[in-house]
Amino acid sequence: MGSYILRRILLMIPTLIGIMTISFVIVQFAPGGPVEQVIAEINGQGGGAESRISGGSDAGMSMDSFDSASSSSYRGAQGLDPQLIADLERQFGFDKPPLTRYLLMMRDFATFNFGDSFFRNSSVIDLIIDKLPVSISLGVWVLILSYGISIPLGIRKAVKDGSRFDVWTSGVIVIGYAIPGFLLGILLIILFAGGSFFDWFPLRGLVSDNFSQLPLWQKPLDYFWHLALPLIALSVSSFATTTLLTKNSFIDEIGKQYVVTARAKGLTENKVLYGHVFRNAMLIVIAGFPGSFILAFFTGSLLIENVFSLDGLGRLGYLSLVNRDYPVVFATLYIFSLLGLVIGLVSDLIYTWIDPRIDFEKRDV
């Protein structure tokens, strides 16, 4: 197993380089880069963009030079002082060739030096750390709720296959899966967060403003009070896939010969299910864990974060992409790609822990 782990870790390096290279190339052809973002702000708001430029007083004075002809290729740069454009390019690093920028980025990312945000007065790593509590709260609790409810429910449905319990729970699950999480979130706000009916839950934030002043025993209650509606909105649609996957996997295993043999030996139903069937049936469920993990931490919570005004990594990545804040965009992409690769390896190790018969050493990576 040691050599397999080493091979997988070594394979992560070219995979990560490939992801970052393709993303960097795509970004080079994307219109509306950070320089154009500032130019648009200058044209629309006069000197409102001066705080974004670190070129000193000369750069500030050049904002007023709108009568200078400019041969710049940037959209909207006509009439602006060429020195201003040069200052912007130098500030954002666009005074260097693309290959140089790429190599510098990869060198820094190799040591987890993500630099500073273009448009926020903070380093990228500080921004990510600041948003982590929201994403961790949503991601961890959604996974716990999803797997903690879906797996026992899927097993029960497999045992009661075709019964009334199986039929009506399938109907409820399918309906829940069909409702988009953000629409359910809006409905919950209308019903329970002071929208039109009840004012039982807070509308925004992860904790109350006076959280630090609350007694120790009240802090967990306040935390879950704020998380209740977002977690419901995120979790309802996540039950379907895992529940039905667990059910079908158990039904497939229950029909195999070794289960018939175990029952013939007089083993109890619980011993058959959890001593023999569980280990084999759960392999396919575990295979989907890495994807569920990444989805819950990033893409799955983007709309929910916006609906409930939760400032997490999903919203940070989205706003950074819209504003062309490339250091934040590439840093979040790098971190989540690396996290996905590591979790994929962890998933394989869990395979071997659940079923020792699986030996990745004898297979190609």
Indicate whether 141 and 207 sit together in one domain: yes
Indicate whether 102 and 185 sit together in one domain: no
Indicate whether 339 and 278 sit together in one domain: yes
Indicate whether 38 and 152 sit together in one domain: no
pLDDT digits (tens, 9 = 90+) for 223-245: 888 888 888 888 887 788 788 88
Q: How confident is the model at residue 22 (pLDDT cuts 50, 70, 90)?
A: very high
Domain encompassing residue 68: 34-111
Number of domains in the chain: 2
Asked if pLDDT for residue 59 goes beyond 50, the answer is no
For residues 263 and 272, the answer to whether their CB atoms sit within 8 Å is yes
Domain boundary residue, one of 48, 82, 111: 111
CATH number at residue 356: 1.10.3720.10
Residue 1, domain member (yes or no): no
pLDDT digits (tens, 9 = 90+) for 90-101: 777 777 888 888
Indicate whether 163 and 213 sit together in one domain: yes
Residue 53, domain member (yes or no): yes
Instruction: Supply the pTM of this predicted model.
Output: 0.71
pLDDT digits (tens, 9 = 90+) for 148-186: 888 889 888 988 888 999 999 988 888 888 888 888 888
Residues 6+ apart with CB under 8 A from 337: 15, 16, 19, 20
Closest C-alpha to 307, from 117, 160, 162, 138: 138
Indicate whether 158 and 74 sit together in one domain: no
Dig out the tokens for 144 from the structure: 């716990």
pLDDT digits (tens, 9 = 90+) for 287-340: 666 667 666 666 556 778 878 878 888 788 888 888 888 888 899 889 888 887
The proportion of the chain whose per-residue pLDDT surpasses 90, expressed as a percent, equals: 5
Q: CA 145, CA 122: separation in Å to the nearest integer?
A: 34
Closest C-alpha to 134, from 214, 46, 230, 199: 230
Dig out the tokens for 339 from the structure: 């996290």
Residue 298, domain member (yes or no): yes
Dig out the tokens for 139 from the structure: 């991601």
Domain boundary residue, one of 111, 138, 173: 111
Report CA 137 to chain centroid distance, whole Å: 12
Report CA 60 to chain centroid distance, whole Å: 39
Indicate whether 64 and 130 sit together in one domain: no
Residue 223, domain member (yes or no): yes
Q: How confident is the prediction for the chain on average, in pLDDT?
A: 78
Indicate whether 170 and 310 sit together in one domain: yes
Domain boundary residue, one of 81, 111, 141: 111
pLDDT at residue number 15: 92
The residue-averaged pLDDT of 124-132 equals: 87
Angle between helices 2-28 and 98-110 (to 10 degrees): 150
Indicate whether 62 and 204 sit together in one domain: no
How many residues appear in the chain?
365
Q: CA 220, CA 215: separation in Å to the nearest integer?
A: 10
Asked if pLDDT for residue 258 goes beyond 60, the answer is yes
pLDDT at residue number 294: 66
Between CA 143 and CA 153, with CA 149 as vertex, the angle to 5 degrees is 140
Residue 248, domain member (yes or no): yes
Indicate whether 71 and 192 sit together in one domain: no
Residue 120, domain member (yes or no): no
Indicate whether 196 and 58 sit together in one domain: no
Name the β-bridge partners of 116.
123
Residue 119, domain member (yes or no): no
pLDDT at residue number 103: 92
Give the number of other CB atoms < 10 A from CB of residue 326.
24
Indicate whether 91 and 132 sit together in one domain: no
Residue 293, domain member (yes or no): yes
Dig out the tokens for 92 from the structure: 């954002």
